[in-house]
Amino acid sequence: MSIAQSLLAIVLEEAQRHGVQRITKVAVKVGAFANVVPDSLTFSFDLIKEDTPAAEATLEIEQIPAQGVCHACGAQIDMAQLVAACPECESKDIQMNGGQELYIDHIEAD
């Protein structure tokens, strides 16, 4: 619930700053490892958006695939499956790039 609440808080703040009366869509990007379940985020958001300018807004969640980079050979690694070692050189010195983030991509309004 807390993620949905902070999300709504940001959306309403943005709406107020731009003088928006009615928000129609909120597009959010979520990292693959951000521990966000899209269905439950949508569910929570729908519950708390009532009686706000975002009451009719649909929440659009796009999941960002996680990427990693190998420190040993510099290979870019697709972290869609949790990879324990670099597929190129088998080094375990892999740095995750992103995957944890959650941010608002854009907001649509009337």
Q: b/e map of 37-57 (b: 16 or more CB within 10 Å)?
A: eeeebbebbeeebeeebbeeb
Residue 37 φ/ψ, nearest 5 degrees: -95, 110
Region from 14-22, 28-36, 61-69, 71-79 binding Zn ion, contact rule CB under 5 A: 71-79
Using CB under 5 A as the binding rule, whether residue 70 contacts Zn ion is answered as yes
DSSP, collapsed to helix, strand or coil, labels residue 17 as helix
Using CB under 5 A as the binding rule, whether residue 72 contacts Zn ion is answered as yes
Using CB under 5 A as the binding rule, whether residue 102 contacts Zn ion is answered as no
Using CB under 5 A as the binding rule, whether residue 89 contacts Zn ion is answered as yes
Region from 31-39, 45-53, 54-62, 74-82 binding Zn ion, contact rule CB under 5 A: 74-82
